[in-house]
C-alpha cells in the first residue's frame, strides 16, 4: 500500500521512540476499551494514547474480522455465493494493503478454505432457519454517543447487527454479537449477561433508536483445530472442515439468546460512571505513564499481548520497528 505523508511522518517519529500522537478527535471509550483499560492500563495507553499496533496483525484477529464480514454479507443479502466472494475479496484486500497475517499465497489459500469450511458448516446449522425468523434491521455499524455519562468522553463501538423478531415470546429487537474463539468454554451464560459488550451495545441501540432491545444473541463459533494434512488438497481440506462442523455442532457452535432487563443496563451505567472518571483522568494526563500502569498478570492471555515486546524488552528501535501508527480519520 502506498503510504500517506502523514503515515510516513508518524512511522519516522515512532521509530525514534517519540511518544504521543496529536489527538484529532475527542477521547473515547468503547466496550472493548473499557475491558482493556480495566485489565491493563498500559495496554490501553498503547492503543489510545500512543496509538500503535503491530505491523503484522495476529492471524486469529484477522480471521475473526473476516468472519464478521462474511456473516454481515450473509445476513444482509441472504446469498451464499456473495458471502463466499467476500472471503476472497477481503483476503486479497488485506494482502494488497500490506497489513495481512497471510504471508504467502499458500497461507491465504488455507485461510480461504478454513473460512469457507466454517461458513458452509454454519449454514447447515443456522443458515435458512435464521433468515426465516430474523428480520435484519441493521448490519455491522459504528456508533458514537457524545458526552457519555456527562463526561467529555464519547462512547463508541461497532455493533455486529440488530435484528427484529416479528412474533412469539422473543418478539422485538435483538442485538447480535458474532464471536470466533479457539475455546468455547471461556464464555458462560453468566459472563455474557454482565459483559461490557452485551450491556454497552444494548444501551447504545436504546439510545440511538429510542427502543430498548430485548437482549443479546451471542453467536460464537469455534475455529477449527484441524490443519491441512500432507498430501491433502485445499479442496479436500475445506470439505473435511465443513463435514466436521456438521458432524459436531455442539463442539463448534455456542449460541445464547438472553433477555437483558432495564435494571441490568442501569446498574452497568452506574458502575461505568467511576470507570469514565478514571479514564477521563488518565486521558487528561497522557504523558504520565505511571498512571497508565501495567498489569503483567494478563500478558500471556488470549494468545499473548501484542505489546509484550515493548513491555518486556523496552522501547528501542528494534522493538518499535514491529509497530506502525494507527491513523484515525477526523
CB of 82 or CB of 321, closer to ligand SF4: 321
Residue 308 as a binder of ligand SF4 (CB under 6 A): the answer is: yes
User: CB 290 → ligand SF4: shortest distance, Å?
Assistant: 13
Contact assessment for residue 212 and residue 262, using Cβ atoms and an 8 Å cutoff: yes
Contact assessment for residue 266 and residue 275, using Cβ atoms and an 8 Å cutoff: no
CB of 89 or CB of 298, closer to ligand SF4: 298
Residue 299 as a binder of ligand SF4 (CB under 6 A): the answer is: yes
Tell me how far apart the alpha carbons of residues 245 and 123 are, in angstroms, rounded to a whole number: 10
CB of 186 or CB of 312, closer to ligand SF4: 312
CB of 54 or CB of 269, closer to ligand SF4: 54
Q: Name the nearest CA neighbour of 193 among 165, 212, 217, 221.
A: 217
Stretch of 64-72, 112-120, 169-177, 301-309 lying at the interface with ligand SF4 (CB under 6 A):
301-309
Residue 214 as a binder of ligand SF4 (CB under 6 A): the answer is: no
Q: Which of residues 1-40 bind ligand SF4 (CB under 6 A)?
A: 40
Q: Which of 27, 28, 31, 43 forms a contact with ligand SF4 (CB under 6 A)?
A: 43
- For residue 282, give the C-alpha cell: 488518565
User: CB 40 → ligand SF4: shortest distance, Å?
Assistant: 3
Bridge-based pairing state of the strands 52-54 and 323-325: antiparallel
- For residue 20, give the C-alpha cell: 504521543
Contact assessment for residue 83 and residue 72, using Cβ atoms and an 8 Å cutoff: no
Site track for ligand SF4 across 259-298, x = CB under 6 A: -----------------------------------xxx-x
User: CB 299 → ligand SF4: shortest distance, Å?
Assistant: 3
Report the half-sphere exposure of 218 (CA within 13 A, side-chain side): 21
DSSP conformation letters of 71-115? HHHHHHH--HHHHHHHHHHHHHHHHHTT--S--SHHHHHHHHHHH
Binding residues vs ligand SF4 (CB under 6 A): 40, 42-43, 294-296, 298-299, 305, 307-308, 311
Amino acid at each position: 500500500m502506498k503510504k500517506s505523508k502523514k503515515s510516513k511522518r508518524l512511522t519516522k517519529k515512532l521509530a525514534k521512540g517519540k511518544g504521543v500522537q496529536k489527538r484529532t478527535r475527542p477521547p473515547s471509550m468503547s466496550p472493548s476499551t473499557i475491558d482493556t483499560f480495566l485489565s491493563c492500563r498500559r495496554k490501553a495507553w498503547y492503543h489510545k494514547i500512543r496509538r500503535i499496533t503491530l505491523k503484522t496483525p495476529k492471524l486469529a484477529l484477522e480471521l475473526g474480522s473476516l468472519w464478521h464480514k462474511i456473516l454481515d454479507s450473509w445476513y444482509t443479502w441472504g446469498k451464499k455465493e456473495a458471502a463466499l466472494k467476500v472471503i476472497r475479496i477481503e483476503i486479497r484486500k488485506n494482502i494488497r494493503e500490506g497489513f495481512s497475517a497471510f504471508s504467502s499465497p499458500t497461507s491465504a489459500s488455507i485461510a480461504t478454505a478454513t473460512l469457507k469450511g466454517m461458513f458452509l458448516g454454519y449454514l447447515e446449522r443456522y443458515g435458512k432457519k435464521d433468515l426465516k425468523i430474523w428480520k435484519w434491521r441493521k448490519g455491522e455499524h459504528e456508533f458514537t454517543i457524545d458526552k457519555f455519562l456527562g463526561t467529555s468522553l464519547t462512547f463508541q463501538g461497532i455493533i455486529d447487527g440488530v435484528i427484529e423478531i416479528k412474533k412469539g415470546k422473543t418478539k422485538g429487537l435483538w442485538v447480535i454479537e458474532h464471536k470466533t474463539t479457539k475455546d468455547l468454554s471461556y464464555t458462560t451464560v453468566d459472563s455474557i449477561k454482565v459483559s461490557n459488550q452485551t450491556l454497552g451495545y444494548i444501551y447504545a441501540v436504546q439510545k440511538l433508536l429510542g427502543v430498548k432491545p430485548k437482549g443479546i444473541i451471542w453467536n460464537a463459533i469455534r475455529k477449527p483445530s484441524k490443519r491441512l494434512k500432507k498430501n491433502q488438497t485445499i479442496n479436500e481440506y475445506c470439505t473435511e472442515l465443513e463435514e466436521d462442523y456438521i458432524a459436531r455442532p455442539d463442539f463448534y457452535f455456542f449460541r445464547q439468546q438472553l433477555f437483558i432487563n432495564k435494571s441490568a443496563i442501569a446498574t452497568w451505567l452506574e458502575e461505568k460512571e467511576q470507570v469514565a472518571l478514571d479514564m477521563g483522568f488518565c486521558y487528561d494526563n497522557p504523558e504520565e505513564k505511571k498512571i497508565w500502569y501495567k498489569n503483567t498478570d494478563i500478558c500471556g492471555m488470549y494468545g499473548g499481548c501484542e505489546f509484550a515486546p515493548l513491555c518486556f524488552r523496552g522501547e528501542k528501535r528494534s522493538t518499535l520497528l514491529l509497530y506502525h501508527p494507527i491513523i484515525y480519520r477526523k
